[in-house]
Amino acid sequence: MSGEKVSLTVETEGNVRLDKYLADVLEGQSRSGVQRLMEEGHVFLSGKPAAKNAKVQTGDWVEVLIPPPASLDVEAQDIPLDIVYEDDDLLVVNKPKGMVVHPAAGNPDGTLVNALLYHCKDSLSGIGGVLRPGIVHRIDKDTSGLLMVAKNDFAHLSLAQQIKDHSFTRIYAAVVYGNIKEESGTVNAPIGRHPTDRKKMCVTEKNSREAVTHFEVVERLRGFTQLKVRLETGRTHQIRVHMAYLGHPVAGDPVYGPKKVIRSLGGQCLHAQTLGFVHPRTGEYLEFTAPPPDSFVSFVHSVSV
């Protein structure tokens, strides 16, 4: 069987059901999805197929074989792309707010992947599988900005390693609620799945991964602060979770912000502004910057002191 193989050493207190543990630590896997993997014999505990009611404790060794995505008919669509840079190995795209990166339930088309399949034809890395060809990293649907796409597996592996080594430059522009007292700071707080809401992440010590975010104040606004944010790690919803953890959620964030959402923003006021990396083939460091969209600029202007 081809697909992804994940090996884990359990770091959790007491006896915990294996299906719950894996749903917490495996990104993109629900508890029912994990149970299905267990039923199909793809989950191993201490080298043996795991029973459906298996429990784990600290130090246990777990292996999971995640099958490749089902071969779906992902349609190539002629959707305009704002391409900032392109060569034979990769391209950098400025993704608009509101565009989903890859097809999923509820978003079968109109995604960045549909547009890339049309633009690049057969020239996309296959590492991400059928649903995520060429996708090295992601940004949320309602976050705008720069995204890296690999055209071949050689480029994909190199870029993915740079992200893993924290040598990949990712700088965001953000507007958050309130007045952050410090001129700059670092949030070093692990992020994991929310214990009761599966669609959310949170700062937690349990079944979490290291997450580090650096920020600097750009401008103090009326009731808000504009920040320059640099990611050291890249966890799901990292900036949104860390800013909410500080008590300064991202403006317009419908998930981690106040219940009364700023509807006019159409999502979080967050923009992936700068992307820097070493080119896999030439070894040259490249860096690209895209200005925030009009909605971001207009909001900043509306709350300027």
Residues with a known catalytic role: 140
Task: Report yes or no: 63 and 54 within 8 Å, Cβ to Cβ.
Answer: no
Tokens 């103090």 sit at which residue? 220
- The pair of structure tokens assigned to 178 is 């309130």
- C-alpha to C-alpha distance for 293 and 98, rounded to whole angstroms: 12
CA 127, 130, 131, 133 torsion-angle sign: positive
- C-alpha to C-alpha distance for 38 and 40, rounded to whole angstroms: 5
Tokens 């050689």 sit at which residue? 154
Question: Which residue type does 83 have?
Answer: I
Q: What are phi and psi of 303, to 5 degrees?
A: -115, 10
Angle at Cα 244 formed by Cα 240 and Cα 245, nearest 5°?
Answer: 115
Q: What are phi and psi of 146, to 5 degrees?
A: -80, 135
Q: What is the largest CA-CA distance in the chain?
A: 63
CA 293, 294, 296, 300 torsion-angle sign: positive
**β-sheet bridge partners, residue 65:** 5
Question: Which residue type does 17 have?
Answer: R
- For the chain, give percent helix, strand, coil, nearest 5: 20, 30, 50
- CA distances from residue 198 to 118, 195, 201, 250 in whole angstroms, order as listed: 33, 7, 8, 20
